[in-house]
Structure 1
Amino acid sequence: MSAPIRFLFRGQPVAVPADTPTRTVLQWLREDRQACGTKEGCAEGDCGACTVLVAELPETLPEGSQAVRSAGVALRPVNACIRFLPSLHGKALLTVEDLAGGAPAGTQTLHPAQQALVDCHGAQCGFCTPGFVMTLAAVHEAHQAHQDNNPTACAPGRGALADALAGNLCRCTGYRPILDAAQQMLAQTGPRLPLAGLRDQLLALQAAPAPSVEGLVHVPRDLASLARLRADKPEARLVAGATDVGLWVTKQMRPLGELIFLGDVAELRRIEATATALRIGAAVTLEDAWAALVARWPALHEMHRRFAGPPVRHAGTLVGNLANGSPIGDGPPVLIALGAELLLRRGEAQRRLPLQDFYLDYMKNALQPGEFVEAVEVPLQTLGASWVAQAHKISKRLDCDISAVSAGFALRLEGERVAEARLAYGGMAATVRRAAGAEAALLGQPWTEATLRAAQAALARDYTPLTDLRASADYRRATAAALLERLWLSTRPHDPVPLEQLRVDLRTPA
């Protein structure tokens, strides 16, 4: 028994056999449909030349989702080069060719993003331009939809536009004319994206059976079905956004074996807040998960905006980043510092495990055969006024880069003494883990420079970092100590320095 992948393309339903589940959206577009406006650059979700828009029903997303809502659908920019075709099931795909609105060749009216790039000389070789156009088209649609409800709404500033374009790379023109075009575009009202009728068509697709090929690909739609599948097929590969395993295919040519896609499991797409914890499901995107975290801990905003680029954040998941277990992952240090727990499931059985205990060794974790991560829960007691939470990322490039060192800090003061401290670092060992010696040096001590120096000395004994292409061991040790000093400078009882003054960001303010 098998069922095809069904989605909307050019406003019409298409059915694609599910027997090649790791075929990417980009390959299908260029090779099967000759839709060559979408370009292949890096094939790893880094350059944004392949950016497309995926539309879905907004009621399937968590409350507060950061997807663009317009005409009854929710839009996300994603990288076509690492997006597997089964993840499009029940959704709509829009590419740069859709901006012509179906008009005959030679009669099209350019989308405001396209016209502005022409007027502002925002393209040189032009290879990256379709990706910029699609990202800008999403920004334009978001602004116009916002103005539909609030005609006096202000347009995003230059800094916010630069953040929106963080997943698009230009090596020819540079960003000044592209940002000029983005600002000019926002003054134009139309034409807009061809979204009319999409909602009704997406509703009609909901009745279609999930794509499947026995022994190859499965797309469960509820948690119970996923649990049974995982218990029966413990060796199958779980796939959410494929922002990591997609590179195993495009760069390493690795076969992934039998696949179980998580994106249609309704229970895993939820963000739920109780009186004691914030629960983020395993299929919640990075963008939505970070927005929920920042809403409660505003100091995490910097990590949110620098965690990959928007097309990756709109596809990948926070739980996927945690389960991956990379020692340079940016999610684990923050969540370990916040005291997060993983909710693990195998069949009908559930158990909880502190995130800090999940990582056993380099790329090894505590999952048992047939078990999977259902959600991550962050305790909300760190919202108290006496707690401070921070996240820091040091990388060679401001946007869309892998960290050399990342850190998550949670600190509680009682008066001028340190009552509790959780310091977690990435990039300093084979796993992300807490700095036990530095924490011990802080506990019960007055939060003074002398205490900071003692903690920095202990920190040097907590880790033995490696030298690699991203940083030397000495640089990592010095950087880890400097990040701890940032924490002290911004939280010291006397004359604290605002955290934003301790960061270097040459980007024009929003």
Structure 2
Amino acid sequence: MKLLLNDELIEDNTLASDYTALRYLREKRGLMGTKEGCASGDCGACTLLVGALEEGELRYTTLNSCITPIQSLAGKHLVSVEYLSQQNALHPAQQAVVECHGSQCGFCTPGFVLSLASLYEERQSTQQSIDRESVCDAISGNLCRCTGYRPIIDAGLSMTQVEPDYVALLSQNHKVKQTLSELESSASLADDGSKSRNYVQPQNLAQLIAAKKACPDGVLIAGGTDLMLENTQRYHDFDDLIDLSQVTEMTTIQDDGQYLTLGASVTYADLETYCQDKYPHISGLLSRIASRQIRNRGTLGGNVANASPIADIPPLLLAFDADMQLLNVDGTTRTVSINDFYQGYKQTLLATDEWIVSFSVSLEKLAQCHRFYKVSKRMEDDISSVMLAARFAIEDDKITEVRLAFGGMAGTPIRAVNAEQALTQVSVNDEQALQRAIEKIRAELHPMSDVRASSRYRLDMACNLIRKAWLALNNQEAVTFSGHAVSDTLLITGNEETNHA
């Protein structure tokens, strides 16, 4: 493993495959600014700034170091909070936090500072302004236990106004660019991706197959945002890990005029950026998944293969009848429909030594009316109580096809097939058909009760979300309320304004 940590070139081949970046910083390098708060990627105290070369440009993003294997960051530039200040001058993010009194107890402050620094670096390099929305997005994965968000947000908004004696943007550091370029070249020359060692990063599918054959018991890891909880929460030690995050064929987004193909290792953040202008409803849903740090690491394939009934990507793919391309270690491939993929709770069609390579979605279906609604107790960094992904095909003012896919309603992501049929081949504005569909929902779905919501609440919310989607189809405003229900604020987001129920 070779990487650049702050201004020091590191080479270390002695680490366990699941040794986290957080442990490495604190235990091996004595960099105590990075904190451990939750060890599950929820609080952001361990936030790390990571730079990578993308098409020759140096781009920095944040991630949760507590659930990131240090070896997954090979060839990258790791920036801890200690390195932000240069030549006795504070970074604008640091200076703004000082001037706005944004540090209270101070435990979470390094994470907040690095999240704000990432936003500052990005917006300065692209010459874009910083507004409240972008600041809140940047710190969405950072929790302040002192409830002092106002001065922290003030600091984010004032970063571009402070005038410290700062040298230059991190992304303009030519020495770092040169070092990462050299690391990239040396890695491609020295590593064929098939060597048997405890952490392997294949660069293409051929290398991935070779790595899996050489290490048949190796565990596949992409973003690791869920898998690494086995290590940090349940104290399970992994032996060999095979990293999918660099496999070229699995990290691309392609539009061939008929289908949009999404690599299984495409991150939420990459898809969010791609969809921002083309498919704003999808981008809106993605902005509700976890936090900025998690979206920078988490992948589509991981979310689907994990087979969680409360995952947000499966209902989206169900709504579009996506096809999945699977690859076996023996080199054979097959295509399956997402509608057939889930066999039961945590059970899928994936065979032993088989993995998801990509997803294909029809551009024609993407062009049809679609909406996504997620209900959760917090706006960011929270799991769905209920999620609906809806799609309507319209022809001559008649609904010709409907998809109503739910998360959080059963042991698997599920479609409400009977309700779909009730809304098919009817007029777009047929309210009686809508009422029949809602009645079908109540008869068809039997949601679970757990700590997030009761069965009755989930069923009521599912019916209301279908009505909301139908109103959007008819270009009508849904009735919204703002306030608190009992002691929880339940947030519903689609393309419309945020609603409180």
Rounded Cα–Cα distance in structure 2 between residues aligned with 1:219 and 1:183: 39
**Residue of structure 2 in register with 1:76 after alignment:** 61
Letter in 2 for 1:504: N
The farther-off stretch of 190-199 and 453-462 is 190-199
Q: Would you say the 8 A contact 2:267–2:299 is kept in 1?
A: yes
Per-residue deviation, residues 297-321 of structure 1 (Å, max 9, x unmatched)? 2122321211111100001111111
The aligned residue for residue 503 of structure 1 is 498
- Name 2:83's counterpart in structure 1: 98
Q: Does 1:419 align with 2:407?
A: no
Indicate if the aligned counterparts of 1:79 and 1:311 stay in contact, CA closer than 8 A: yes
Query: 1:18–1:213: 8 Å Cα contact kept in structure 2?
Result: no
Change (3 A) 1:311 1:189: farther
Aligned residue number for residue 182 of structure 2: 204
Distance in 2 (alpha carbons) for counterparts of 1:201 and 1:234: 34
Q: Does 1:318 align with 2:314?
A: no
Distance 1:218 1:502 in 2: 44
Shift of 1:184: 0.8
Give ranges in structure 1 of 5+ residues lacking alignment. 61-71, 148-152
Look up the equivalent residue of 2:96 and give its one-letter code: A
8 Å contact kept, 1:219–1:264 = yes
8 Å Cα contact 1:268-1:375 kept in structure 2 = yes
Instruction: Check conservation: 1:299, 1:390, Cα contact below 8 A.
Output: yes
Aligned to 2:125: 145
Q: Which residue matches 2:40?
A: 44
Residues 19 and 34 of structure 1, relative CA distance in 2, 3 Å threshold: closer
- 1:405-416 aligned at under 5 Å gives the runs 405-416=386-397
Cα distance in 1 for partners of 2:134, 2:100 equals 19
Q: Is the 8 A contact 2:59 2:122 kept in 1?
A: no
TM-aligned CA deviation for residue 412 of structure 1: 1.2
Q: CA deviation at 1:6?
A: 0.8
Contact 1:144 1:189 in 2 (8 A): no
Q: CA deviation at 1:138?
A: 0.9
Deviation above 6 Å: which 4+ runs of structure 1?
A: none
Please tell me whether residue 88 in structure 1 is matched to residue 73 in structure 2.
yes
Taking a change above 3 Å as real, the CA distance of residues 461 and 502 of structure 1, as seen in their structure-2 partners, is farther
Q: Which has the higher contact order (CA 8 A, sep 6+)?
A: 1
Q: CA deviation at 1:193?
A: 4.3
- Which 10-residue stretch deviates more, 13-22 or 331-340? 13-22
**Contact residue 421 and residue 439 of structure 1 kept, 8 A:** yes
2:390 maps to amino acid: F
Shift of 1:253: 0.8
CA distance in 2, matches of 1:47, 1:53: 15
From 93, 100, 119, the counterpart of 1:120: 100
C-alpha distance in 2 between matches for 1:171 and 1:410: 40
Identity %: 37
What's the TM-score once normalised by structure 2's chain length?
Answer: 0.91
Query: Which residue pairs with 2:7 in the alignment?
Result: 11
- Mean alpha-carbon deviation: is it higher for 478-487 or for 298-307? 298-307
Q: Would the aligned equivalents of 1:406 and 1:427 in 2 still touch at CA under 8 Å?
A: yes
- Per-residue CA deviation, residues 336-377 of structure 1 (Å, 9 max, x unaligned), is 102211111113221111112111111111111221111112
TM-score by length of structure 1 reads 0.89
Identify which of 69, 90, 98 aligns with 1:110. 90
Q: Does the CA contact (< 8 Å) of 2:50 and 2:60 recur in 1?
A: yes
Contact 1:282 1:317 in 2 (8 A): yes
Q: Is the 8 A contact 1:132 1:165 kept in 2?
A: yes
Q: 1:189 to 1:281 in 2, by over 3 A?
A: farther
1:54 lines up with 2:54 in the alignment? no
Which residue of the other structure, out of 129, 142, 150, is the alignment partner of 2:109?
129
- The reply to whether residue 436 of structure 1 matches residue 439 of structure 2 is no
Check conservation: 1:231, 1:371, Cα contact below 8 A.
no
8 A Cα contact 1:143 1:186, kept in partner: no
- Counterpart amino acid of 2:389? G
Amino acid at match of 1:436: V
Alignment of structure 1 residues 132-281 onto 2, 5 Å: 132-147=112-127, 153=128, 155-188=129-162, 191=166, 192-195=168-171, 196=173, 197-206=175-184, 207-208=186-187, 209-210=190-191, 214=196, 216-231=198-213, 233-281=215-263
CA distance in 2, matches of 1:293, 1:357: 26
In the alignment, structure 1 residue 337 sits paired with structure 2 residue 333: no
After superposition, the Cα gap between the structure-2 partners of 1:134 and 1:502, relative to the gap in structure 1 and judged at 3 Å, is closer
1:454-465 equivalence runs, <5 A: 454-465=436-447
Q: Structure 1 residues 501 and 219 mapped into 2: Cα distance closer, same or farther (>3 Å)?
A: closer
Q: 273-282 vs 238-247, which deviates more?
A: 273-282
Alignment counterpart, residue 287 of structure 1, candidates 264, 269, 278: 269
Count how many residue pairs are aligned between Structure 1 and Structure 2.
Answer: 477
Does structure 2 retain, via aligned residues, the 8 Å contact 1:437–1:461?
A: no
Unaligned 5+ runs, structure 2 = 480-493
Helix, strand or coil at the partner of 2:180: helix
Letter in 2 for 1:8: L
Aligned-partner residue type, residue 145 of structure 1: S
Q: Is the 8 A contact 1:38 1:130 kept in 2?
A: yes
Residue 271 of structure 1: CA displacement?
1.3
165 and 187 in structure 1: CA distance in 2 versus 1, 3 angstrom threshold: same
Q: Does 1:355 align with 2:338?
A: yes
Name the CA distance, whole Å, in 1 between partners of 2:299 and 2:245: 10
Rounded to whole Å, the distance in 1 between the matches of 2:375 and 2:117 is: 31
Task: Name 1:492's counterpart in structure 2.
Answer: 474
Offset of residue 257 of structure 1 = 3.6
Report the equivalent of 2:435: 453
Cα shift at 1:212: 8.5
Query: Alpha carbons of 1:466 and 1:242: their partners in 2 closer, same or farther (altered >3 Å)?
Result: same
C-alpha distance in structure 2 between counterparts of 1:461 and 1:253, whole Å: 43
Asked if structure 2 preserves the Cα contact closer than 8 Å seen for 1:291 and 1:304, the reply is no
Decide whether the 8 Å contact of 2:194 with 2:202 is kept in 1: no
Is structure 2 residue 395 aligned with structure 1 residue 395? no
Q: Which amino acid aligns with 1:185?
A: M
In the alignment, the residues of structure 2 paired with residue 500 and residue 264 of structure 1 have an alpha-carbon distance, to the nearest angstrom, of 33
Counterpart-to-counterpart distance in 2, 1:434 and 1:488: 16
CA distance in 2, matches of 1:501, 1:15: 50
3-state DSSP of counterpart to 1:180? helix
> What is the rounded CA distance, in whole Å, between the counterparts of 2:380 and 2:230 in structure 1?
23
Q: Deviations over 1:34-75 (max 9, x none)?
A: 100111111111111111111111029xxxxxxxxxxx3121
Distance change (3 Å), C-alpha of 1:501 and 1:15: closer
1:29 aligns with 2:10: no
- Call closer, same or farther: CA 1:81–1:141 in 2, change over 3 Å: same
Map Cα deviations across residues 438-461 of structure 1 (whole Å, 9 max, x no partner): 111111122322111110111122
Determine helix, strand or coil for the equivalent of 1:100: coil
Query: What residue identity is the alignment partner of 2:394?
Result: L
CA contact (8 A) 2:371 2:495 kept: no
Across the aligned residues of Structure 1 and Structure 2, the Cα RMSD in angstroms comes to 2.1
